[in-house]
Structure 1
Amino acid sequence: MPRRTATMLASTLMLIALLCAGVFINVPYSEMSPGPTVNTLGDHDGEPVLQISGRKTYATSGHLNMTTVRVTSADYRMNLVEAVYGWLAHDNKVVPHDTLYPDGKTEEQSTQENAEEFSQSQESAKVAALKELDVPVKSWVIASTVVKGSPAEGRLHAGDVIKAVDGTTVKQPSDVAELVTKHKPGQDVVFTIVPAKEQAAAEKENRTATRTQKVTITTKASDDEGEKRAIVGISAGTDHTFPFTIDIKLADVGGPSAGLMFALGIYDKLTPGSLTGGTFVAGTGTIDDAGKVGPIGGIEMKTVGARAKGARYFLTPADNCAAAASDTPAGLTLVKVNTIDDALTALKDIRGGDTADLPECTTK
């Protein structure tokens, strides 16, 4: 066999061997790619995304699209060939597995956490939108989660309204941790609560829950490194009562990143005229009850997905601007927003055609 032919054959066999090895070698990475984008003003799977009853609504036009990211599952084992392909592909992003699933989080745990964050983002979106419209919303502090095996298990329950801790009135979720950590581990703390069932019954009957009870819990030491804090094993959150019904119908979506776009969609439906003026606007960002917009993950994937569907403008959390601007899809303008007010101002300029002074994202 001629030397040249032998060399080419050996090289080919080596390449085949490397490719085969690459298929069987697993690497600790996961992949992100652009996911579906849904118009919050429109329908999804045959029904309106935003359904409002008990309050006058108005016709809307254009798009206010929320955006998503697809990720490989927690138990998916990426091989070397897939990782290399993902690194080379422009529209995909390969990241360390622990970035998406820290501390060995399972698929079930991740799904549950994303569902909880999605639910909370919907509540905050409603509150933020109604505050912009000066519509009063009743709010109170609740035990949002109770850790299994903690001192609070069986003593407090998710949805219990926390009125006071050690006799001190609770006004916001952070008050709970502040009052509990005034104790030393092993000391008792007294919660004044309205049980979740009583609160639910009161809401159903459109009355104020008045029956309270005191619950005494013995604190334990936290697992923090260094100085230990007193804890009882709950996370405090906020619940609300709205003066009319706002339902958000969107299955198979998780996480908090659609908050801003839901808030804008609700605002648009409750006000005359069109926020977009018929323009295709997409965006992302968490939102809190006060209307502050927070950063999200996978911004590069979301801008790609939005532009592919036809978006011309993308409302971008200020903290994500630099990453988004480093690789902006052609034809898409990234608009920096810190609050819902910023987004509403930008939309006013967009529908009016006055876009020269939009606060665009930069890489700095």
Structure 2
Amino acid sequence: MSRRHATIFSSLLLLIGLVCTLLVVRVPYSELSPGPTVNTLGKHGGDPVLSIEGRRTYPTSGHLNMTTVRVTSADYQMSLPEALYGWFRDDSSVVPHETLYPDGKTAEEAEQENAEEFTQSQESAKAAALKELGIEVPTRTVVAAVVKDGPAEGTLRAGDIVKAVDGEPVKQPADVAKLVTEHKPGEEVVFTVVPVKQAEAAEKAGQDPTASPTKEVTVRTVAAEEDNRAIVGIQAGSAHTFPFRIDIKLADVGGPSAGLMFSLAIVDKLSRPDLTGGAFVAGTGTINADGEVGPIGGVQMKTVAARRAGATHFLTPEANCPSALGNAPDGLTLVKVGSLDDALKALEALREDRPADIPRCTAD
């Protein structure tokens, strides 16, 4: 073999080795891409997404689509070529793995957290919608989550109604942390609670769950790692007692970002006029019980998904507007909203053909 041929052969082997190495090298990144969209006014998998019993409902038209993002799983390791390919695509986004799965969360932990956030989002969406319609929604403080391996695990349960801490009545979730941190680490805290099973049984029987019999639970505090304050390893939150039944059925979806669209669907079914006037509207955004809309992740992928599905207007949380504008599909109007009331006013302007009154996302 001549020197020239040997050089070519060696270079070819080196190139093949380099390509093989690139194919097996894994990088700490994850990918987001447009997911399915679902009309909250319609059906999914053959069943209504939203069903209401015990209250008069009205016909609806058009679309109020919630949007989703597909993400690579927590245990998936991207190859370098996959990451490079994703970076150059308009319909995907490559981000550091820890952005989606902080603190080394496993796939099971991420799925559980998403399911819990989705459930809480539904509760907040229902409360916000009914409040918007002037319907009273009693609220109670509950154990929203129990930290795994924390002091309260096995003693307090998610859904327990917290009536008092150390005999001091609890009026809102913030009271729980305030009363616990009055202790020193290692001291005991006494919770007066209505156990979740009793609360659920009372609700099913049409009774006030907060009036159910209580029990006292004692938990020993530990020191928080970040600032040494006393904690018991729970997160307090709010639960609501609804005057009639509202069911949201949507499998294989997690996280809190559909809250706004669920609220709008509930308002649409319980009131007149028809919110969309037949238009195809999609959107995203978290919502709290007071109707405040919050930002979400992956908004650029959601706008792509919305436009592919046929949407002409996209309800965009105000804080997400700058990011959404960076990859806005042609033919999709990005509507800026900061609250449920903002969204309703924007839909009214759309329905009445007043485009100048629809607040749009701007770069500033």
Q: 1:8 to 1:36 in 2, by over 3 A?
A: farther
- Output the CA distance in 1 between the equivalents of 2:178 and 2:252: 36
Q: 1:312 to 1:219 in 2, by over 3 A?
A: same
User: Match of 2:184, as an amino acid?
Assistant: K
Q: How far does residue 7 in structure 1 lie from its aligned partner after superposition?
A: 8.8
User: Match of 2:80, as an amino acid?
Assistant: L
Q: 1:73 to 1:273 in 2, by over 3 A?
A: same
Kindly report which structure 2 residues correspond to 1:138-149, keeping only aligned pairs within 5 A, or say none.
138-149=138-149
User: Match of 2:312, as an amino acid?
Assistant: R
Three-state SS of the structure 2 residue aligned to 1:356 is helix
Residue aligning to 2:121: 121
User: Match of 1:32, as an amino acid?
Assistant: L
- Output the CA distance in 1 between the equivalents of 2:248 and 2:120: 12
Q: Contact 1:183–1:230 (CA<8 Å) still a contact in 2?
A: yes
- Output the CA distance in 2 between the equivalents of 1:165 and 1:239: 18
- Output the CA distance in 1 between the equivalents of 2:156 and 2:245: 28
Residue aligning to 1:82: 82
Alignment of 1:230 onto 2:238: no
Residue aligning to 2:311: 311
User: Match of 2:86, as an amino acid?
Assistant: G
Kindly report which structure 2 residues correspond to 1:242-253, keeping only aligned pairs within 5 A, or say none.
242-253=242-253
Q: 1:149 to 1:25 in 2, by over 3 A?
A: closer
Alignment of 1:214 onto 2:216: yes
- Output the CA distance in 2 between the equivalents of 1:156 and 1:4: 76
Q: How far does residue 174 in structure 1 lie from its aligned partner after superposition?
A: 1.3
Residue aligning to 1:204: 204
Three-state SS of the structure 1 residue aligned to 2:95 is strand
- Output the CA distance in 1 between the equivalents of 2:256 and 2:336: 18
Residue aligning to 1:265: 265
User: Match of 1:213, as an amino acid?
Assistant: K
- Output the CA distance in 1 between the equivalents of 2:240 and 2:87: 44
- Output the CA distance in 2 between the equivalents of 1:149 and 1:82: 37
Residue aligning to 1:67: 67
Runs of 4+ in 1 over 3 A off after TM superposition: 1-18
Report the identity percentage. Answer: 64
Kindly report which structure 2 residues correspond to 1:8-27, keeping only aligned pairs within 5 A, or say none.
15-27=15-27
- Output the CA distance in 1 between the equivalents of 2:272 and 2:93: 41
Q: How far does residue 328 in structure 1 lie from its aligned partner after superposition?
A: 1.1
Taking structure 2 as the reference length, the TM-score comes to: 0.94
Q: Contact 1:150–1:232 (CA<8 Å) still a contact in 2?
A: yes
Which region of structure 1 is more displaced relative to structure 2, 72-81 or 252-261? 72-81
Q: How far does residue 3 in structure 1 lie from its aligned partner after superposition?
A: 11
Q: 1:187 to 1:356 in 2, by over 3 A?
A: same
Three-state SS of the structure 2 residue aligned to 1:200 is helix
Question: What is the number of equivalent residue pairs in this alignment?
Answer: 362
Provide Cα deviations, 1:98-154, integer angstroms capped at 9, x if missing partner: 111111100000000000000000010000000001111121111122223322233
In structure 1, stretches of 5+ residues that fail to align are none
Q: 1:23 to 1:187 in 2, by over 3 A?
A: same
Three-state SS of the structure 1 residue aligned to 2:66 is strand
Q: How far does residue 2 in structure 1 lie from its aligned partner after superposition?
A: 11
Provide Cα deviations, 1:260-280, integer angstroms capped at 9, x if missing partner: 000000110111231011111
Which region of structure 1 is more displaced relative to structure 2, 278-287 or 176-185? 176-185
Q: How far does residue 12 in structure 1 lie from its aligned partner after superposition?
A: 6.5
- Output the CA distance in 2 between the equivalents of 1:96 and 1:346: 35
User: Match of 1:37, as an amino acid?
Assistant: T
Provide Cα deviations, 1:163-183, integer angstroms capped at 9, x if missing partner: 111222211111111111111
Three-state SS of the structure 1 residue aligned to 2:56 is coil
- Output the CA distance in 1 between the equivalents of 2:345 and 2:339: 10
- Output the CA distance in 1 between the equivalents of 2:162 and 2:279: 45
In structure 2, stretches of 5+ residues that fail to align are none
- Output the CA distance in 2 between the equivalents of 1:177 and 1:298: 32
- Output the CA distance in 1 between the equivalents of 2:64 and 2:251: 18
- Output the CA distance in 2 between the equivalents of 1:358 and 1:101: 36
- Output the CA distance in 1 between the equivalents of 2:312 and 2:11: 49
Three-state SS of the structure 2 residue aligned to 1:128 is helix
Q: How far does residue 159 in structure 1 lie from its aligned partner after superposition?
A: 1.6
Q: How far does residue 211 in structure 1 lie from its aligned partner after superposition?
A: 1.4
Q: Contact 1:41–1:60 (CA<8 Å) still a contact in 2?
A: yes
**RMSD between aligned residues:** 1.9
Q: Contact 1:19–1:81 (CA<8 Å) still a contact in 2?
A: no
Q: Contact 2:170–2:176 (CA<8 Å) still a contact in 1?
A: yes
User: Match of 2:115, as an amino acid?
Assistant: A
